[in-house]
Amino acid sequence: MPITIEFSDRLKALPPYIFVEIDKAKREARAAGRDIIDLGVGDPDSPTFPHIIEALKKAAEDPANHHYAFDAGLPQLRTTIAQWFQKRFSVSLDPHAEILPLIGSKEGLAHLPLGIVNPKDKVILTDPAYPAYRAAVIFAGGKIVNVPLKESNGFLPDIKKIENIKEAKVMFVNYPNNPTSATATREFFTQLVSLALEKGIILVSDMAYSEIYYDGQRPVSILEIEGAKEIAIEFHSLSKTYNMTGWRIGWACGNSKLVAALAKVKSNFDSGIFQAIQVAGVAALNTDEREIEDLRALYQERRDLLINGLRSIGWKVPSPKAAFYVWAKIPKGFTSSMETSKAFLENADIVVTPGNGFGEAGEGYIRMTLTVPKDRLNEAVERFKKIL
Ligand SMILES: *Cc1c(COP(=O)(O)O)cnc(C)c1O
């Protein structure tokens, strides 16, 4: 008798991976030698800044960095994060109790629910949302309640809708937002914090794109709002800011009890970030602000080129204020996100992400990234012109 291996119920409960078909079609097209323009990947194309690589090289040669890392991260990394946070958001954090380095922020976002969500607890997610939240809540046995993000409300959830949800335990928010590129206003965060304090809803803020913003409009941290530290934890990442997606380093900060819950979960899963990468992380956070300015300028030029190009061929798309995504309604004549993505790949060799992969409310949209050079974006516009 052959042995049957069955996935656990919690694995079976995960939503289907919508991107699988597009991924497969993309691989086949590449293998067939077609010249694919990939506007699907949310990963910076620029290399990591050289001073960060130098810091890693030096630290990697020091045997002191070859051991299990400090549980809670190098003290120097935590104090550097506190200084960075003070300078960027004027929020002071206790480096020991209110900051926890992570092996990338996704890891922390995915582990946190295990420390704060009991089976059947209600967790509010936005729709669309970064897919990792959904999986994390399902793994913890929580019950997901979706609130839609609508263009008419600037892709912010309706506060009234949240107010009407009974006995919610936790809510995830993500601004600057992936996939919509929307940013949160200070007014929205103020209302959200005040509601959360009144109803005892834990707020989880994902700020992976805090430094990728345009037109000089710097995104707000939820921890800037008075009282937020009583109820909120915020996730930050070095991935997008310093072109370090493969390095795996980020942090959580905010309410000390929430930070402690995450630390306790993690102490049972991992043994910290390779210490040389933590040393490199210190170098990253001390990057000259002018270098980050240049990175923003690079994305902003690409944004303007793509948006203007698409508008010139009659596809009206809003210009993102932050992050590196263009969230566009599918063009006239197409009936679904998936059909559009397939048609673009089939007829123009362009990969875009179908919006429904981020939740049902993403149906009718596609996501394009600005992580490809200008000449390729120009070429993409030329190809769209031929098929639209
Ligand atoms: C990229 C991304 C992350 C993950 O960042 P890492 O620190 O590399 O794990 C988290 N949230 C959102 C919304 C992202 O797009």
Tell me what percent of the residues of the chain surpass a pLDDT of 70: 100
Distance between Cα 302 and ligand 1 center (Å): 21
Residue identifier of the C-alpha nearest atom 15 of ligand 1: 178
Helix (H) or strand (E) holding 190: helix 186-199
Note the pTM of the prediction, 2 decimals.
Answer: 0.97
Q: For 70-118, how does the pLDDT look when each residue is reduced to its tens digit (9 = 90+)? A: 768 899 999 999 999 999 999 999 999 999 999 999 999 999 999 999 9
Beta-sheet strand order (sheet of 168-174): 99-102, 250-254, 232-237, 202-206, 168-174, 122-127, 143-148
Q: For 235-280, how does the pLDDT look when each residue is reduced to its tens digit (9 = 90+)? A: 999 999 999 999 999 999 999 999 999 999 999 999 999 999 999 9
Alpha-carbon gap, residue 14 to 134, rounded angstroms:
8
**Token output for 140:** 């913890």
pLDDT band at residue 2, thresholds of 50, 70 and 90? confident
3-state secondary structure of 240: coil
Q: State the average pLDDT over residues 332-347.
A: 96
Q: Is 388 exposed, middle or buried (0-12, 13-18, 19+ CB in 10 A)?
A: middle
pLDDT band at residue 349, thresholds of 50, 70 and 90? very high
Q: For 179-204, how does the pLDDT look when each residue is reduced to its tens digit (9 = 90+)? A: 999 999 999 999 999 999 999 999 99
Check residue 16 and give its pLDDT: 82
**Relative to the CA of 240, which ligand 1 atom is closest?**
1
Check residue 238 and give its pLDDT: 98
- Is 90 exceeded by the pLDDT of residue 346? yes
Distance between Cα 1 and ligand 1 center (Å): 44
**Relative to the CA of 107, which ligand 1 atom is closest?**
9
Check residue 344 and give its pLDDT: 97
Higher-pLDDT residue of 27 and 18 is 27
Q: Which domains does the chain have, with CATH numbers?
A: 9-47+290-387 (3.90.1150.10), 67-285 (3.40.640.10)
**Relative to the CA of 109, which ligand 1 atom is closest?**
10
- Nearest partner of 205 among 237, 167, 166, 246, judged by Cα: 237
Q: Pocket around ligand 1: residues whose beta carbon is below 6 Å from it?
A: 42, 104-106, 130, 174, 178, 206, 208, 237, 239, 245, 250
**Token output for 183:** 């940013």
Q: For 32-67, how does the pLDDT look when each residue is reduced to its tens digit (9 = 90+)? A: 999 999 999 889 999 999 999 999 999 999 999 999
Alpha-carbon gap, residue 112 to 136, rounded angstroms:
8
Mean pLDDT of the chain: 96
Check residue 20 and give its pLDDT: 84
Q: What number of CA atoms fall less than 13 Å from residue 139's CA on the CB side?
A: 14
